Amino acid sequence: MKDIMGMMKAASEMKGKMEAMQAELAELVVEGRSGGGMVTVSLTGKGDVRGIKIDPTLLKPEDAEVIEDLIVAAFTDAKGKSEAEMQRKMAEVTAGLPIPPGMKLPF
């Protein structure tokens, strides 16, 4: 019975930490860059786009396809950074819990 109470307490603490982490991720902003920094995409920790910056020298009609590719690359870079930060924070929250390898949280 003592084990169950300990598990309930640990689960309650983890829930609080998860909620705090979710709030932190909503406030976190990461930037992805491409084209040597000529295109920058800003995302929240939850993957919402906050902004896109394009170097004015790229804004020529004949370069539209290049710009589109750079935006996709910058978004991919920012998304990867956001996911890495989320995994790092999740590891902090779940430290010491017996979670099976490969299981990703939140579900």
* Domain extent listing, the chain: 27-93
Q: Which strand ranges, in their side-by-side order, compose the sheet holding 29-34?
A: 29-34, 39-44, 49-54
Confidence of residue 6 (pLDDT cuts 50, 70, 90): confident
9 within 8 A of 22, measured Cβ to Cβ: no
pLDDT of residue 18: 80
Cα separation, 96 vs 75, in Å, equals: 33
Cα separation, 15 vs 18, in Å, equals: 5
- Could you give phi then psi for residue 97, rounded to 5 degrees? -90, 145
pLDDT over threshold 60, residue 91? yes
Tens-digit pLDDT profile for residues 44-80: 877 778 888 888 888 888 888 888 888 888 888 888 8
| Architecture in CATH of 27-93 | 2-Layer Sandwich (3.30)
Average per-residue pLDDT in the chain?
Answer: 80
